């Protein structure tokens, strides 16, 4: 095994990512275990199985699909961080995309890797700090943040995000964008089952379709 | 020891875990920052990236605080704070908590320690796939991308763009998911479309102002500005176009 100092930057990111993420898995499991020990409580195993059977198959499927789909977009460091801090499609990924656009670097370059990591780390830190402030100020903030008048604003975060990102990316690669945008519009308008709960599943479908169409266009020299 | 969903010890434990999450973010940030300087990326450029990522994050982060408040009605503040700071999202965690509470089979006025531990375990086990799958697949997938790039650099760039565009297309499609309500004479399905249009137009306007005036700093804040303006526009738009019938 190579010494740490002999590793390339990317290899060291993977080694650190493994250590951090497997450690975080253990730490997260410690929470229910320690709560149980302190308060002398054992889980209700029947309810545990009932809850798990109801949600785990879907979450695990989505988790596998999200990992495979988002990994090449987030970069390695960004992936390790994002899958610990969560809120990927509504926060970390748009943040990374915006940073790559702003820095004018390619996602698959080492420059893209570090820019994406810096943006996602910043976003993770800021989110965590804001949530801490929210928890500290929960009592005075609750009537303001849960005021019905603000509900529509928080309900529309995704359209607000992807309107701006859509313009930035479609204007750069409109030839690639036409077919998947048309397909997704048709599918989402005509199939009632496609909604906020299933959009995560449609991301890899759309990505695979886009890659297929791009390959055909590329082979026919239509992307030159 | 008597249990309560807002017991101070729960906050201490969650605080320790959140500190570990911040430590990981700081660690990766410092390493990427140093590497960026070695690669010749100017410090000013990096500072700009940090500034705009921070500004951009504020509005979605406030919505996460709202999620903590919503979940805290049944679970207290500590567990939602943990679940929405680490991996989770409001929709996942709400469903996981509801399904487990349903599995207890009775109406629950206040969770017991055993029920609390059960809910926390279901939430943890359900959501952990990405956190351990990423380290298992990360290096292999990156190697695959590098091989692709060595074979055909142009196609590798198009492949990467196609991934981004596929993701963006799916979310653009999602914006139209209630559009068919128009055929029934209802207009609430137009709200997300109008919100998206406000966001897109703000971004275009920022680009035009930047071109006309040469104020490059505008591009750093185009996304957060578009996000906040579009979210604000959602309030009158919803008042005008209505909401989905319950």
Q: B33 falls in which pLDDT band (50, 70, 90)?
A: very high
Query: Does A59 sit within 8 Å of B92, measured CB to CB?
Result: yes
Q: B108 falls in which pLDDT band (50, 70, 90)?
A: low
Chains A, B: CB contacts within 8 A come to 543
Report chain B's mean pLDDT, rounded to a whole number. Answer: 89
Predicted pLDDT at A160 = 93
Looking at the fold, whether B24 and B108 belong to one and the same domain comes out as yes
Look at residues A213, A115, A223, A210 and name the one whose alpha carbon lies nearest to residue B167. A210
Query: Does A118 sit within 8 Å of B138, measured CB to CB?
Result: no
Looking at the fold, whether B109 and B202 belong to one and the same domain comes out as no
3-state class of A159 per DSSP? helix
A1–chain B nearest CA distance, Å:
16
Looking at the fold, whether B111 and B192 belong to one and the same domain comes out as no
Looking at the fold, whether B110 and B41 belong to one and the same domain comes out as yes
pLDDT at B105 over 70: no
Mutation site for A-interface testing, chosen from B131, B145, B151 by largest number of A Cβ within 10 Å: B131
Looking at the fold, whether B44 and B113 belong to one and the same domain comes out as yes
pLDDT in tens, B49-78: 999 999 989 988 888 888 888 888 778 899
Looking at the fold, whether B84 and B186 belong to one and the same domain comes out as no
Looking at the fold, whether B112 and B50 belong to one and the same domain comes out as yes
> What are the chain B neighbours of A79 within 8 Å (beta carbons)?
134, 138
- Whether residue B161 is contained in a domain is answered as no
The mean pLDDT value for A138-153 works out to 86
Looking at the fold, whether B12 and B123 belong to one and the same domain comes out as yes
Predicted pLDDT at A25 = 92
- Whether residue B40 is contained in a domain is answered as yes
CA atoms within 13 A on the CB side of B230: 32
- Whether residue B219 is contained in a domain is answered as yes
The mean pLDDT value for A16-33 works out to 94
Greater model confidence, B58 or B100: B58
Closest in B32, B130, B243 to A83, CB measured: B130
**Cα B243 vs. chain centroid, distance in angstroms?**
24
Query: Does A35 sit within 8 Å of B124, measured CB to CB?
Result: no
Contacts of B39 (CB under 8 A, 6+ apart): A110, A111, A114
- Whether residue B158 is contained in a domain is answered as no
Closest in A81, A91, A103 to B28, CB measured: A81
Query: Does B159 sit within 8 Å of A214, measured CB to CB?
Result: yes
Mutation site for A-interface testing, chosen from B166, B190, B238 by largest number of A Cβ within 10 Å: B166
- Whether residue B167 is contained in a domain is answered as no
Last residue of a domain, one of B69, B95, B127: B127
Residue B2 CB burial class (10 angstroms; 0-12, 13-18, ≥19): exposed
Query: Does A103 sit within 8 Å of B65, measured CB to CB?
Result: no
Question: Six-digit token pair at A16?
Answer: 């650190």
- Whether residue B190 is contained in a domain is answered as yes
A221–chain B nearest CA distance, Å:
11
B236–chain A nearest CA distance, Å:
9
Looking at the fold, whether B94 and B205 belong to one and the same domain comes out as no
Question: Six-digit token pair at A103?
Answer: 């820095």
Contacts of B233 (CB under 8 A, 6+ apart): B194, B195, B198
Predicted pLDDT at B83 = 87
Q: How far apart are CA A221 and CA A210, in angstroms?
A: 16
Query: Does B69 sit within 8 Å of A145, measured CB to CB?
Result: yes
Q: Domain tally for chain B? A: 2
pLDDT at B18 over 90: yes
Residue in chain B closest to A82 (alpha carbons) equals B87
Query: Does B87 sit within 8 Å of A83, measured CB to CB?
Result: yes
3-state class of A216 per DSSP? helix
Query: Does B24 sit within 8 Å of A20, measured CB to CB?
Result: yes
Predicted pLDDT at B9 = 95
Query: Does A126 sit within 8 Å of B54, measured CB to CB?
Result: yes
pLDDT at B158 over 90: yes
A44–chain B nearest CA distance, Å:
6
> What are the chain A neighbours of B72 within 8 Å (beta carbons)?
138
A64 in Cβ contact with A87 (< 8 Å)? no
Closest in A20, A164, A195 to B177, CB measured: A195
Residue in chain B closest to A52 (alpha carbons) equals B122
Last residue of a domain, one of B103, B127, B151: B127
pLDDT at A13 over 90: yes
- Whether residue B133 is contained in a domain is answered as no
**Segments forming the whole domain that contains residue B189:** 176-241
Looking at the fold, whether B31 and B90 belong to one and the same domain comes out as yes
Query: Does B203 sit within 8 Å of A164, measured CB to CB?
Result: yes
The conformation of residue B109, written as its DSSP 8-state character, comes to S
Closest in A98, A106, A204 to B157, CB measured: A106
Looking at the fold, whether B18 and B114 belong to one and the same domain comes out as yes
b/e sequence B29-65, b meaning 16+ C-beta within 10 Å = bebbbebbeeeebeeeebebbbebbbbbbebbbbbbb
């Amino acid at each position: 095994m190579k010494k740490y100092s002999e590793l390339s930057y990317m290899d060291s990111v993977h080694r650190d990512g493994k250590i951090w993420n497997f450690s975080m898995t253990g730490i997260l499991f410690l929470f229910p275990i320690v709560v149980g020990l302190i308060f002398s409580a054992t889980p209700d195993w029947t309810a545990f199985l009932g809850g798990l059977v109801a949600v785990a198959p879907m979450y695990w499927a989505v988790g596998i699909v999200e990992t495979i789909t988002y990994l090449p977009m987030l970069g390695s460091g960004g992936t390790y961080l994002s899958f610990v801090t969560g809120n990927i499609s509504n926060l970390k990924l748009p943040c990374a995309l915006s940073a790559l656009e702003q820095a004018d670097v390619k996602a698959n370059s080492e420059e893209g890797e570090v820019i994406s990591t810096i943006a996602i780390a910043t976003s993770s830190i800021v989110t965590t700090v804001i949530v801490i402030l929210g928890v500290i100020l929960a009592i005075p903030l609750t009537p303001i943040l849960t005021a019905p008048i603000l509900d529509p604003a928080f309900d529309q975060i995704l359209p607000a995000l992807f309107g701006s990102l859509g313009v930035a990316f479609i204007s750069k690669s409109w030839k690639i964008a036409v077919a998947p945008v048309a397909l997704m519009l048709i599918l989402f308008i005509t199939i009632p089952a496609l909604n906020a709960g299933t959009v995560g599943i449609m991301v890899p479908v759309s990505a695979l379709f886009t890659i297929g169409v791009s390959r055909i266009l590329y082979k026919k020299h239509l992307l030159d | 020891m008597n249990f309560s969903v807002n017991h101070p010890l729960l906050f201490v434990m969650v605080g320790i875990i959140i500190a570990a999450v911040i430590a990981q973010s700081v660690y990766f940030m410092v390493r990427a920052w140093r590497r960026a300087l070695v690669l010749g990326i100017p410090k000013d450029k990096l500072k700009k990236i940090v500034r705009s990522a921070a500004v951009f994050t504020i509005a979605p982060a406030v919505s996460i605080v709202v999620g903590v408040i919503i979940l805290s009605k049944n679970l207290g503040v500590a567990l939602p704070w943990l679940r929405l700071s680490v991996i989770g999202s409001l929709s996942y965690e709400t469903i996981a908590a509801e399904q487990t509470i349903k599995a207890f089979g009775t109406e629950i006025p206040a969770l017991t320690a055993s029920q609390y531990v059960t809910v926390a375990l279901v939430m943890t086990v359900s959501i952990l796939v990405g956190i351990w799958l990423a380290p298992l697949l990360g290096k292999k997938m990156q190697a695959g991308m590098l091989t692709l790039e060595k074979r055909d650099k142009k196609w590798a760039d198009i492949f990467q763009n196609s991934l981004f565009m596929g993701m963006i297309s799916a979310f653009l499609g999602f914006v139209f998911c209630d559009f068919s309500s128009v055929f029934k004479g209802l207009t609430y399905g137009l709200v997300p479309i109008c919100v998206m249009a406000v966001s897109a137009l703000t971004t275009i306007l920022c680009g035009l102002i930047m071109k006309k005036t040469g104020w490059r700093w505008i591009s750093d804040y185009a996304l957060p500005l578009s996000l906040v303006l579009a979210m604000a526009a959602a309030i009158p738009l919803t008042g005008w176009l209505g909401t989905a019938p319950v």
